[in-house]
Amino acid sequence: MKLNFTGKNMEVTEALKEVTSKKLRKLDKYFNKDVEGNVVYSVERNWKILEITIDLPGTILRVEEASDDMYAAIDKAVDVLERQIRKYKTRLQRRQQAGETIRFENVMPLEEDEREKPRIVRTKRFAMKPMSAEEAVLQMELLGHNFFVFRNADSEEVSVVYKRKDGNYGLIEPEF
């Protein structure tokens, strides 16, 4: 796995890079070829925050963990990533056994500057391949987002799935 390391409000030491690389190497068994990952270390107040994003063909895995110790955050993040990968792999296998094709798209959140009045600071464009609502929910969960925009395979219309406060999911379908 090719990793890019970044530090926010802190300097990234070689020791941190080495420990993170070593821990993430155990996930290499899940990938057929080299994938790229981004690791962001940050410090906010007394919390050490680690964010890992792995770009896979057709999807993105992302985890963010906070702890009072960066090494503990690394351990927690790798555990969560491994669970996500197993979940993703299991669902892919089920879909392939059922004869379906699963596709995922990348939707990233907008970045906001808290010091200014909220405004659109980034526009994201992405190809939207048709997928089922269940596939969209899986992609939303893998990204760790609260909503996901996708093209519904049944209606060919743009739809949105979102996580409800009660823990269930909602589906927004347009009417024209």
Strand extents, DSSP E, the chain: 2-8, 36-44, 47-56, 59-67, 130-131, 147-152, 158-163, 169-172
Strand spans (E) along 9-58: 36-44, 47-56
The domain defined by 103-176 folds into SHC Adaptor Protein (3.30.505)
Residue pLDDT tens, the chain, 176 long: 888 999 998 888 999 999 999 998 888 887 766 788 899 999 988 889 999 998 877 778 889 999 999 999 999 999 999 888 888 777 777 766 665 544 443 333 334 333 456 778 778 787 788 999 999 999 888 888 889 999 999 888 999 999 988 889 999 998 87
Residues recorded for the chain = 176
**How far does the chain reach from its first CA to its final CA, in angstroms?**
46
Fold annotation for 2-97: Double Stranded RNA Binding Domain (3.30.160)
Is-same-fold flag (2-97; 103-176)? Answer: no
Q: 32: Cβ–Cβ under 8 A, 6 or more apart, which residues?
A: none
Residue-range domain boundaries for the chain: 2-97, 103-176
Side-chain-side CA neighbours of residue 147 (13 Å): 8
Q: What is the pTM of this model?
A: 0.56
Residue corresponding to tokens 């994003």: 53
